[in-house]
Amino acid sequence: MASVTATTDWHDWHLPYDDDTSPLSRRLRLIQRHINDWLDQRPDSSLRVVRVCAGQGHDLIGALAPRSDADRVRAELIEYDPRNVAAARMAISAARLDGITATQADAGDFAPYRTAVPADLVVLAGVLGNISDADARATIDALPRLCASDATVIWTRTRRHPDLTPAIRGWFATAGFTEEAFHAPSDMLFSVGVHSFHGQPQQAPPNGRIFTFTA
């Protein structure tokens, strides 16, 4: 996967998705598989999804586009870079996913989640490796304010040394989540985790910091 620096161009960061064999594409297929599994397991006529730091929305848009039941999903993609928001909106429109909205906003604040929570699925991929360890913990602790009962969270984190994933998995448990899956391919640095929420959902405040994006 592309390395992240203080000058990362978050539009060009998505280019490896054009190569089916890239680590980013491999990670994408795992995330999409879990989005599909989640939707297959939920018979509800209406489901809410929040995509934190959505980028161009490849995971959610790509998973929903071929599905005949995509209209069951109301999703909010929250992304800061206007070029990525524009790309996501084009993909949403091309796939005729009327229930998905891409919003240009700081996903590190509670404010843009106001109309989108409580969510039945929170996709937190490409976030936990770009914030401080303390903010990674604070973000996981904040998830009960974003999640509905029985919600699922799909998350990713690089396992580059020092590997934070053992701590992350422990923080999920402390916050009331059960681990459903954890993929850590031996030839890859990425990991993909899936957790389900069985704790008590909490009211999200109208605003206030969850995390600050650092990379």
Ligand X SMILES: C[S@@+](CC[C@H](N)C(=O)[O-])C[C@H]1O[C@@H](n2cnc3c(N)ncnc32)[C@H](O)[C@@H]1O
Q: What residues have CB less than 8 Å from 150, skipping those under 6 apart?
A: 120, 196, 197, 198
Q: Is 76 in the site for ligand X (CB under 6 A)?
A: no
Scanning residues 130 to 149, which ones bind ligand X (CB under 6 A)? 130
Closest CA to 101 of 74, 125, 81, 82: 74
How would DSSP label each residue in 40-88? HH---S-EEEEEET-TT-HHHHHHHTT-TTGGGEEEEEEES-HHHHHHH
* Minimal distance, residue 20 CB to ligand X, in Å: 15
Q: Which among 53-61, 133-141, 159-167, 170-178 is the span making contact with ligand X, rule CB under 6 A?
A: 53-61
**Least distance CB 13 / ligand X (angstroms):** 5
Contact criterion met (CB below 8 Å) for 142 and 115: no
Q: Which of 42, 80, 90, 184 binds ligand X (CB under 6 A)?
A: 80
Nearest-approach distance from CB 60 to ligand X, in angstroms: 9
Q: Encoding tokens for residue 148? A: 């509905």
State the nearest-atom distance from the C-beta of 92 to ligand X, in Å: 15
State which amino acid sits at residue 25.
S
Are the C-beta atoms of residues 188 and 26 closer than 8 Å to each other? yes
- Give the C-alpha separation, 197 to 147, whole Å: 7
Examine residue 53 and tell whether it contacts ligand X (CB under 6 A).
yes
CB of residue 200 vs ligand X: minimum separation in angstroms?
A: 27
Among 26, 58, 89, 137, binds ligand X (CB under 6 A): 58
The residues in 93-112 that bind ligand X, with binding defined as CB under 6 A, are 106-108
- Which residues form the interface with ligand X (CB under 6 A)? 10, 13, 53-55, 58, 78-81, 84, 106-108, 125-126, 130, 213
